[in-house]
Chains A and B, each alone.
Chain A
Amino acid sequence: MGEIDGFLARQPSAVDSAFAVLEKVAELGPGVTGRELVAALPLSKATVYRILKHLVEHEYLVRTPDLTGFMLGVRVLNLARAGAVSFEDRQSSPGPQS
């Protein structure tokens, strides 16, 4: 157990763990299984499955057609898009600080 990309996964923080799972799915690619995630993450099996279930419920992750693997859901893309758009708007609009 240790540090993953700046996150202290052993921290008792559900948010840290959720981001760790999301980033690991992105890193290992579409179709990564629950078992592979358990092996790759410094988290307990129960924690990984609980977080996977939560992220699937909220559609940040989706299951592969055979249900065995996971992929990033379109909500992740929407989040990135929303962030990019608001950043560009901020850059282009003549606000008080510009």
Chain B
Amino acid sequence: MISLRERSVFDGLDRRVVTQADLVAHSIAVICPSASALSTAFLLPRVVGPGAWVSVLLGIALSYVLAAAFSEFGSRFVAPGSLYTYAAKGLGPAVALVVGCSMLLGYGALVSYGLTDASRQGSRALEATTGSEPSTLVPVLVVLGGAALCVAVMRRGIRYSARFAFATEAVALSVLVIVLGVVAARNGLPGLDALDPAGSSLHDILVGTAMVMTVTIGFESSAALGVEVVRPFRSVPRAMRLSVLITGVLLMAGVVINASLGERTRGRWFHPGAEISYADAIVLVVIAASYLALALCAWTALTRLLFAFARDGLLPAALGRTDRRTGNPTVAVAVTVPVVLLPMCFSLLHGELPGWASYELLIYATLILFVAYALTAIAVVPFLARLGELTGRAVALAVGGAVGITVVGVVEVRHDIADGQRDVLLALALLVVVALVWRVGLALRPSGVEHVGRHEETLRGDVLIPGDRGEGSG
């Protein structure tokens, strides 16, 4: 006899309302390709050399393999804890907590980075219209205003915030295509020698691959909305894979077009070298809006993770409360406001620009997320073996993804250590210790780790039960 619940353990969220298009936009917003296709795509050929396009190809292929591996979970169950729940299903509570802590740090860093970089681009836009650098107060006000806007949008519920992300990304990607088109028309496309991979060493190409991976980080955040999505078993895997592919196309276009450029003035595409350029100011405002969408979507994923932790009994139950009308996890949103603003306060107290600490934090968080990705990819194998659904393709995706991201992570760590950032590994070790202490603490409670990594089970209303006709609610 199969026992089915009447109500979900994640009851309270606005179920089955986010469309697939909005979910894809959510994933794309976290990757923020409009900014990376104009910045990372310009940097890559200068770091890697003519083989930069190979780095894009490898980085996108690796992200796609990881997205396909995570889809093995996403096509079987949904959970607002996303990778944390995936890891729990395959490798147990201790690894799940390591992955969960990595995600808390990673999503928190992404929100903070999105807000401060929106302010940086906003200040540049102002500079492009006045010709003079705005005071330090302007970026601070933009960060605070951006945070207030994100909270206001989230308070209106996931239907509204997902549509907001979709609209922002639609405008941002359209503007990106126009900018790349103008740059290509003005400078022409590079000759084949500028794209000859023989001109780059394997090490340089791998460093470039790591740069591309840092761009695509967060593509899986759409999985956190699984409970709130229409047809989640179809939409979540598609959103992860599509967002990576769309980013790949834009990044490749950016790298190829930028390869023919020499030096350029930062923030000027239409009028290079001009002090005042209204057209470039508009592009900078759109990029700032895109960073705000990044902050909004990463913040949404962060609140869903806290919500899942609370419902699993890992954090106080208050964090699992939702607004009755909108389904928004209000307490989780409120608690995270000071946390995401903390890096900016830290930067200002140290006399640095508002975005300094969040950028540094993101470097560490990205490497730690690489480890979370590797662990979650490996978790596919024991999970599918337990279900009796393990296939050769799934093993290849899991092992390929885990090995690939580990290689990229090692290259990045060595690169960081060579640059004097020796504490990257220390930060990772600290995070593992925190997660393991948390695991031991949970084991001492009467309920233990029983509820770690719960998913949204099939409800009585979702199923046709023999002899129970009329129960299904559709």
Instruction: Name the CB-closest residue of A to B71.
Output: A53
Q: In the complex, how many residues of chain A place their beta carbon closer than 8 angstroms to a beta carbon of chain B? A: 29
Given known contacts A68-B388, A74-B464, A30 and B2 CB-to-CB distance under 8 angstroms:
yes
* Bound CA span A76–B472, Å: 10
Residues 40-98 of A at the B interface (beta carbon under 8 Å): 45-46, 49, 53, 56-59, 62-65, 67-69, 71-78
With both beta carbons as reference points, the residue of chain B lying nearest to A72 in the complex is identified as B464
Tell me if B's interface is mostly helix, strand, loop or mixed: loop
Nearest residue, chain A, Cβ from B238: A57
Partner of B472, one of A34, A64, A77: A77
Nearest Cβ in chain A — how far from B237, in angstroms?
Answer: 8
Instruction: Let me know if A29 is at the binding interface, CB within 8 A.
Output: yes
Binary A-proximity of B222-235 (CB < 8 A = 1, otherwise 0): 00000000010110
Tell me the complex Cα distance, A31–B233, Å.
19
Find A65's partner among B3, B233, B465, B473 (CB 8 Å cutoff).
B3
Q: How far is the CA of A15 from the CA of B410 in the complex (A)?
A: 47
Measured CB to CB, the closest approach of chain A to B228, in angstroms, equals 16
Query: In the bound complex, do residue A74 and residue B473 qualify as a contact, i.e. CB atoms below 8 Å apart?
Result: yes
Is A68 a contact partner of B234 (Cβ separation < 8 A)?
no
Give the chain B neighbours of A69 by CB distance below 8 A: 2
Known: A72-B463, A73-B464. A34 touches B389 (CB 8 A): yes
Expressed in whole angstroms, the Cα–Cα distance for A65 and B458 within the complex equals 6
A57 to chain B, nearest CB (A): 4
Instruction: Let me know if A74 and B462 touch, CB within 8 A.
Output: yes
Bound-state Cα–Cα, A30 to B468, Å: 13
Closest A residue to B75 using CB positions:
A53
Interface string of B456-474 (1 = CB under 8 A from A): 0110011111100100111
- Of the candidates B2, B231, B389, B464, the one whose C-beta lies within 8 Å of that of A31 is B2
Q: Which residues of A contact B2 (CB under 8 A)?
A: 30-31, 64-65, 69, 71
B174 in the interface, Cβ–Cβ < 8 Å?
A: no
Q: A73 vs B458: C-alpha distance in the bound complex, in angstroms?
A: 9
B4 on interface, CB distance cutoff 8 Å: yes
In B172-198, the 8 Å CB interface with A consists of none
Seen from chain A, the residues whose Cβ lies within 8 Å of a Cβ on chain B are 29-31, 33-35, 45-46, 49, 53, 56-59, 62-65, 67-69, 71-78
List 9 A–B pairs whose Cβ atoms lie within 8 Å, in order of A's numbering: A29-B466, A30-B465, A34-B388, A49-B391, A67-B77, A68-B388, A73-B462, A74-B474, A77-B472
